[in-house]
Amino acid sequence: MASPIITIQEKSLISPHSSTHLSLPLTFFDLLWLRFHPVERIFFYSFPTTHSNDPSFFFDKIVPNLKTSLSLTLQKFLPLAGNIIWPSHSPKPIIQYNPGDAVILLIAESNVDFDHVLQNSPCDASESRFLLPNLESSDSAASVISLQVTLFPNRGFSIGVSTHHAVLDGKSSTMFIKAWATLCRSGGEEEAPLEPFFDRDVIKDPTKLDLLLTENWTEDPFDDTKKTRSLEILSFVFKPRVENSVRAKFDLSKRDLENLKKRVLSKWDEVDHDDEVNSKPHTVSSFVVTCAYVSTCIARAIQQAENSDQKKFAFGFAVDCRARLEPPVPENYFGNCVNLHLVDAKPEDYAKEDGYVIVAKKIVSKIKNLDKKGVLEGVGTLFSKHERRARLGIELIGVAGSSRFGVYETDFGWGRPQKVEITSLDRSLVIGMDGSKDGKGGIEVGLVLNKDVMDIFSNLFHAGLI
């Protein structure tokens, strides 16, 4: 395919037109991600058939409606129009909105074949990067969100979203996107599904984890004797890994998931007898079997591609803490409220013949232990544990997204998306997870891998479902 050409037609600043001054502190949940890479997602939409050959439909109808509804939505989500700043008198950064602040919205046009971008089969990982805006950051300030709407003439358009992870987690991001879609679809007549709740007092921090995490981020990555109060995203650490890499999606149908669950339960007592889970459960969740199956396929594929059985792996997943805190945090809390938990499987377990079952049991064990040890266990030592893993050569496989977010329900008024992609998967080794497009209980998995690894992964993935 020819190199993508993206023409920026317009750069707009979309303001909520609010006279309110707003400052929000960052909690320890937010500060975990202070200089982390942006979370990037792209929604792809086809034009309604009646307008597919109307070149003015995009610029005269779609773009104005998106702009107007975005401004209305930002009135309810003021922090998104502001910035992260770090006042000299403050021990930690804050989110601040001042009247006149605005969100950058790019309007672009692409020469890429729309059918090509909609396919799920492996394609060059770098192609999606043209459909995303940059999220600006510097030592003194960081933007919270930026947006890009890209036209594919006569076929459709995409909405690329880049968000700062220190301000919102996946649930909050989805809350905003669905609110925007609702207001756009209804012309402002229909209320958003959830009103955001911003009160940071509901996040209790008696041990001052926020200050500990802030201190961790002030350490200079090149010189541990220096301290810096920079808010610039560590782009050299989280640079997109797109060279010789491909991006693809894989489907696990409801039937596939049920078969994987039966396989785990049938072999439950045959593997890893030292596991903390003493009794076999009646069932396991789709989340557990998806994470276990895909992570072990990835590990085996990497080992085969590198012709080495010495590669070591770990798996980590984020837990939504809203309902697990005491007292519980409201469902519509807007901000980060997730903690990363590492599965206790041994690094060599991922490539074993029954590795999938072992890892599934370990994930179940970890989830059960959250109720015993608390959902915040280990939050203060995440940095040191990550450094220790890196020194030992252990590669972490993570997971982003959730089948519960319902991203394929995001209708701005011109139909549901044809495809939704978590583009920032290319910044680390991460499994992207969404509910299936058809809404029939399956799970859609997104990956970015070295081309040779992806070929092996695809064979292992499909062979294991037979």
The dihedral formed by the CA atoms of 111, 115, 118 and 124, expressed in degrees to the nearest 10: -60
* Closest of 297, 278, 416, 424 to residue 351, by C-alpha: 297
164 tagged catalytic? no
165 tagged catalytic? yes
Phi, psi angles (nearest 5°) of residue 333: -55, 130
* Closest of 121, 140, 130, 18 to residue 71, by C-alpha: 18
Sign of CA dihedral 452, 458, 464, 466: negative
Considering the candidates 124, 411, 452, 455, report the single residue annotated as catalytic: 411
Q: Which residues 6+ apart lie within 8 Å of 63 measured at CB?
A: 107, 149
Considering the candidates 37, 164, 165, 341, report the single residue annotated as catalytic: 165
Token pair of 371, please? Answer: 């109720």
Q: Report which DSSP code applies to 58.
A: I
Q: Which residues 6+ apart lie within 8 Å of 123 measured at CB?
A: 1, 116, 246, 247, 248
Number of helices (H) and strands (E), helices first, in the chain?
A: 12, 17
CB 393 within 8 A of CB 312: yes
* Closest of 143, 123, 84 to residue 4, by C-alpha: 123
Number of CB atoms found within 10 A of residue 349's CB: 25
Q: Per DSSP, which regions of 265-347 are E strands?
A: 312-320, 338-342
3-state secondary structure of 292: helix
| 87 upstream amide cis, omega within 30 of 0 | no
Cα 203 off chain centre by? 22
Query: Which residues participate in catalysis according to the annotation?
Result: 165, 411
